[in-house]
Structure 1
Amino acid sequence: MVEPDQPSTARMIDFWLGGEHHYPVDVAAARAFEQAYGPCAPVFQSLRAFLGRAVRAIAATGVDSFLVFGAGVPTMGNVHEVATDATVLYTDVDPVTIRLGQRLLAGSDRAGYGFGDATDLGTVDPALLHRFVPGWGRRPVGVVFLGLAAFLDDDTLARTLDELYAATAVGSQLAIDFDTEELADNPQALAMMGPAFRMRSPAAFAPLLGRWTPTSEGIVAVPQWRPDGPPEQVPDAFHGVVAVRSAG
């Protein structure tokens, strides 16, 4: 693979998680952001731990297939490494990340990687969807939607989540996070996120879920969602929720 000349958030996160699938340009961007914000590894490790707990909880209800949007690098405790009996379709919109994911998952009969824009379900390859999420629209599935809400305006996010609700079967579950207003205390880091970046309070985010019904934990800071032990002590950068498609 030709080394990219632009950093990728997905590969920066891989660097913060201690992975091996990033390039010098990603490390430079990650360190520049840390100069403005502070250490990021603990924050993203906490977010990845939330992903793991959420996926295990969803799988424990009998869900055995997952569709992942904005998937990033499919390593370091990503979905198929957690739900080891499930099939998983990872999707992203970044061609470099997609090629990397396809290379890493080559030969897997449980996990695939393809293009997919969360705001347009029609962009997901039907053949991949049929292969790796065979119950789509007929059986409960897990939808993972992490790292995306901050880059969608309220109307787009609400529409996207409603379209996902309509497309999935009753009993499907959604794992989603959003960036809190914590980054406002770090204006230099906030400026680096670009004009499309949106922070939200839990009260502002809740209505955007629409018909999705949060589990009893509600919308909480990600370390607080069903922690395996004492919650990680990290900046309150992300809140998350698992929500259920409970009716038509």
Structure 2
Amino acid sequence: MTRPAWAPQDVDIDRPSAARVYDYYLGGSHNFAVDREMARQAIADWPDLPRVLQANRAFMRRAVRYCAAQGIDQFLDVGSGIPTVGNVHEVARAALPGARVVYVDIDPVAVAHSCALLADDGHTGVVHADFLDVEAVLGDPVTRTVLDLDRPVALLVVALLHFVGDERRPADALARYRDALAPGSHLVLSHASADIMPPERADDHVALYKRTATPMSMRPHDEVVGFFDGFSLVDPGVVGIPFWQPDGTLPDGAERNPGYAGVGRRD
């Protein structure tokens, strides 16, 4: 395969990347044949999958606009993947032109692509770190340069925690972020769930993601709500992803979307 100019030399383009597969689902162009083949297999098993992920992205955009309407002009997108179609900084700046964004990911593929794509944007930054290493994320020189952590920040943890197993104690990490961020900060979170999925479909999807560096697990509604401990939930609470403050007609198949979303405020 010919390596395109936007693909850094140290990125393996022969192994599927969850970040690039997600980019493909969203209609982006930063993906390769190996990613598209994995996506086609997933879609064959679950035809609604692209629509599910597009609904997740639409939630992210609505939540960013909501936070901007509260006057928040700083966004920390942890587990960001590749800044792809409808990315955070573009959505935020449509409301607040001076908005600043730091993208964080543990996946070197996503980080390398992000650095290449955002190299000329002085109001964004990219950090290579693990969501669980809160001190490394918040203490990174890029984070400290781009964001003022003494003011409210919107922490985005969108479609991330289903890639973090219980043994790694993701709720503890969220509590450390909560305690470190200024009052008025918001948590924006979405999470895959098997609550309304046939068990065999959930099992097949989990098995497919074991081919990547980020295997998947799913959690029920009560566990997703628990991630907002210490935050005051914004109406309508933790609900199906398409049902969080919809801005128009609900998309087809909204009731079949197997995930939850919510926004909480740190008082």
TM range (shorter): over 0.9
Q: Deviations over 1:140-174 (max 9, x none)?
A: 11000012111223461210110110110100001
2:154 is the alignment partner of 1:158? no
Q: How many residues align?
A: 244
Distance 2:110 2:101 in 1: 16
Residue in 2 that maps onto 1:148: 160
How far is 1:39 from its partner?
Answer: 3.8
How far is 1:196 from its partner?
Answer: 5.3
> Conserved in 2, the CA contact under 8 Å of 1:115 and 1:123?
no
2:63 is the alignment partner of 1:51? no
Equivalent of residue 259 in structure 2, options 238, 243, 246 = 238
How far is 1:185 from its partner?
Answer: 4.5
2:119 is the alignment partner of 1:100? no
Distance 1:73 1:192 in 2: 20
Q: Which runs of 5+ in 2 are unaligned?
A: 1-7
RMSD (Å), alpha carbons: 1.7
Residue in 2 that maps onto 1:217: 236
2:43 is the alignment partner of 1:42? no
Q: Deviations over 1:20-69 (max 9, x none)?
A: 10111111111111222224221111111100000000011011111111
Equivalent of residue 127 in structure 1, options 141, 148, 160 = 141
How far is 1:79 from its partner?
Answer: 0.5
Identity %: 32
How far is 1:214 from its partner?
Answer: 1.1
Report SS of the residue matched to 2:71: coil
Report SS of the residue matched to 1:209: coil
Q: Where in structure 2 are the equivalents of 1:151-230 lying within 5 Å?
A: 151-154=163-166, 156-181=169-194, 182-183=196-197, 184-186=199-201, 187-194=203-210, 197-230=216-249
Distance 2:107 2:136 in 1: 13
Residue in 2 that maps onto 1:116: 129
Distance 2:204 2:132 in 1: 29
Q: Where in structure 2 are the equivalents of 1:15-34 lying within 5 Å?
A: 15-34=24-43
> Conserved in 1, the CA contact under 8 Å of 2:161 and 2:170?
yes
Letter in 2 for 1:123: A
How far is 1:220 from its partner?
Answer: 0.6
> Conserved in 2, the CA contact under 8 Å of 1:12 and 1:29?
yes
Report SS of the residue matched to 1:229: coil
Residue in 1 that maps onto 2:71: 62
Letter in 2 for 1:109: G
> Conserved in 1, the CA contact under 8 Å of 2:125 and 2:143?
no
Distance 1:225 1:24 in 2: 34
Distance 1:225 1:141 in 2: 20
Distance 2:29 2:227 in 1: 35
Tell me the TM-score normalized by structure 2.
0.86
> Conserved in 1, the CA contact under 8 Å of 2:127 and 2:140?
no
Tell me the TM-score normalized by structure 1.
0.92
Q: Which runs of 5+ in 1 are unaligned?
A: none
> Conserved in 2, the CA contact under 8 Å of 1:140 and 1:173?
yes
Letter in 1 for 2:159: G
